[in-house]
Amino acid sequence: MTTTTAPADSPETGAAPQPMSRREVLQALSGLMLGMFVSILASTIVSNALPRIIADLHGSQSVYTWIVTTELLAMTATVPLWGKMADLYSKKLLIQLSLGLFVVGSLIAGFTPNVEILLLSRAVQGVGAGGMTALAMIVMAAMIPPRELGRYSGIFGAVFGIGTIAGPLIGGVLVDTSWLGWRWCFLIGVPFTLTAIFLLQKTLHLPVVRRQVKIDYLGALLIIAGVSTLLIWSTLAGSKFEWASGWTAFLVATGVILLALAVFVEARAAEPIVPLGIFRHRTVSLTVLTSIFVGVAMFGGTVFLSQYFQISLGKSPTVAGLMSLPMIFGLLVSSTVAGQLITKYGRWKIFLVAGGIVMTVGMLLLSRIDAHTHVVVLSAYMAVLGVGVGMLMQNLVLAAQNDVPAQDLGATTSVLTFFRSMGGAIGVSALGAVLANRVTDMFTEKFGPMAAGGGTAAVPDLKTLDPAILQIVQQIYGDATADLFLIGTPFAVLALLTVLFIKEKPLHTLSGTDRLAQEQSDAPPPIAVH
């Protein structure tokens, strides 16, 4: 295996890369930030449209969960492959490719005639989102030293906040506008995505690492198959078959066997998709565990909040978008302030611990909601959860990236993102199944077996319901949503306990590119074999 690093703007292969100035970094971040904005907008703009989409396409509560889970599944399963390719090929090209897939998925979704095609489009979008999710942090680490990342986290936080705030609002307006409708929730992101691809071509210039290696496609296939099997089980269990059943035993055993084979293959591969050696780093192992718990707790509960706003509280899609603002503002403020303080003082563990505590409190508070919770009280609960998540998510990545050699930055970042997404997918699918079961049981209890529609209650169209029935339906969805946060609280507690064992280390003052050049210059010369 040979490795050659060529600066993007220098014809001299092997020359030491020069540190980027702040202006160059900001220019390079322009296309990256727009790409992130597109990814965030695409997921948040749909959240308020989903109840209307499901009603128009005649879907059930299980279909609601699958529309969310399909994208998470595709994103989760492909993140390690994107991360590995980032260590081998042009990061710029890979980001542009991921955004291109996003365009294709958005166009398919925008013109979908039925739920089945919509699920296909979400899978394509998920593959593109997997690339953008993994590569954004990898590119940041390549350009910016960990010690300075906090300075730029405000930009990331602003983009995240704007995308997350604008998404539900724009989505709500589109759904409530009769001559536009929910299909434009998918189509509106296409021009932004194409602009991001153009800006990346013009502004992002990174050294290209050329390595004569082979990607372990067998390992990638086994990882994708194993994770997909377990996620399919967690989605279907409790609705299509019992948790304790033959199907559960078959799917769980199949998933575990496939992942065990993946570990066997990866341990022997020259270039594994997930280098198992990174788990020797205590910080990496602990941040991976924390990411799983955060994913289960956060995604598992919050993804159904928009449905709660519209069905249980009877709000319009536009108002539902406004109601998500407190959580986003809490996340934006806490992540930005934490980033600036980390850059100033170089201390980061305190923010992980504080984030774990605050997130747990937020989950407990939201487990108390129902159909009669006052908007002000609900906003305060959501803001608390947002503050906790904001201090945790970004800083887990920072801690892991700071702990590994530069050559493993891509794999480490993607592994962390992979496990957080996997936790989120498991949380959404499992808690979505819990929600569907609770709704079905309560519908059956209130209205009789025929109301469950063959095993899962259809998502109701509130405009067609009698006022007396509407009040009961709203209470059912309020109580069922609160149960999700109560179930998710123990996972927030586990995240807190895990971060307590992470050892704080001083942050590097060199960027990933500079560290890689230094590591290569310190490495012994290759031994020639004749």
Query: Are 190 and 236 members of one domain?
Result: no
Query: Are 499 and 366 members of one domain?
Result: yes
Query: Are 377 and 301 members of one domain?
Result: yes
Phi and psi at 324, nearest 5°, equal -85, -10
CA separation for the pair 522, 71 (Å, rounded): 42
Q: Is residue 3 part of a domain?
A: no
Please provide the distance, in angstroms rounded to a whole number, between the alpha carbons at the two ends of the chain.
Answer: 16
Q: What is the pTM of this model?
A: 0.71
Q: Is residue 220 part of a domain?
A: yes
Residues 6+ apart with CB under 8 A from 188: 45, 170, 174
Band of residue 62 on the pLDDT scale cut at 50, 70, 90: low
Question: Quick one: pLDDT at residue 490?
Answer: 93
Cα 484 from chain centre: 19
Query: Are 190 and 248 members of one domain?
Result: no
39-48, 245-254, 290-299 — which one is most confidently predicted on average?
Answer: 245-254
Q: Which residue has the tokens 């990898």?
A: 138
Q: Count how many domains the chain has.
A: 2
> What dihedral angle (degrees, nearest 10) is formed by the CA atoms of 320, 322, 323, 327?
130
Q: In the chain, how long is the greatest CA-to-CA distance? A: 87
Whether the Cβ atoms of residue 196 and residue 34 lie closer than 8 Å to each other: yes
Q: Is the pLDDT of residue 526 over 60?
A: no
* Amino acid identity at 10: S
Question: Quick one: pLDDT at residue 66?
Answer: 75
Would you call 10 helix, strand, or coil by DSSP? coil
CA separation for the pair 451, 519 (Å, rounded): 65
Query: Are 27 and 141 members of one domain?
Result: yes
Phi/psi zone of residue 33: left (φ > 0), alpha (ψ -120 to 50 degrees), beta?
Answer: alpha
Which one, of 393, 387, 373, 367, lies nearest residue 326 by Cα?
387
Band of residue 500 on the pLDDT scale cut at 50, 70, 90: very high
Q: Is residue 524 part of a domain?
A: no
Mean pLDDT of 53-81: 74
DSSP-derived secondary structure letter, 210: E
Q: CA of 258: how far to CAs of 226, 245, 261, 385, in Å?
A: 5, 20, 5, 36
Query: Are 427 and 301 members of one domain?
Result: yes
Query: Are 311 and 454 members of one domain?
Result: yes
Query: Are 293 and 254 members of one domain?
Result: no
Query: Are 471 and 360 members of one domain?
Result: yes
Residues 6+ apart with CB under 8 A from 23: none
Domain range for 239 is: 216-270
Mean pLDDT of 435-444: 80
Query: Are 136 and 242 members of one domain?
Result: no
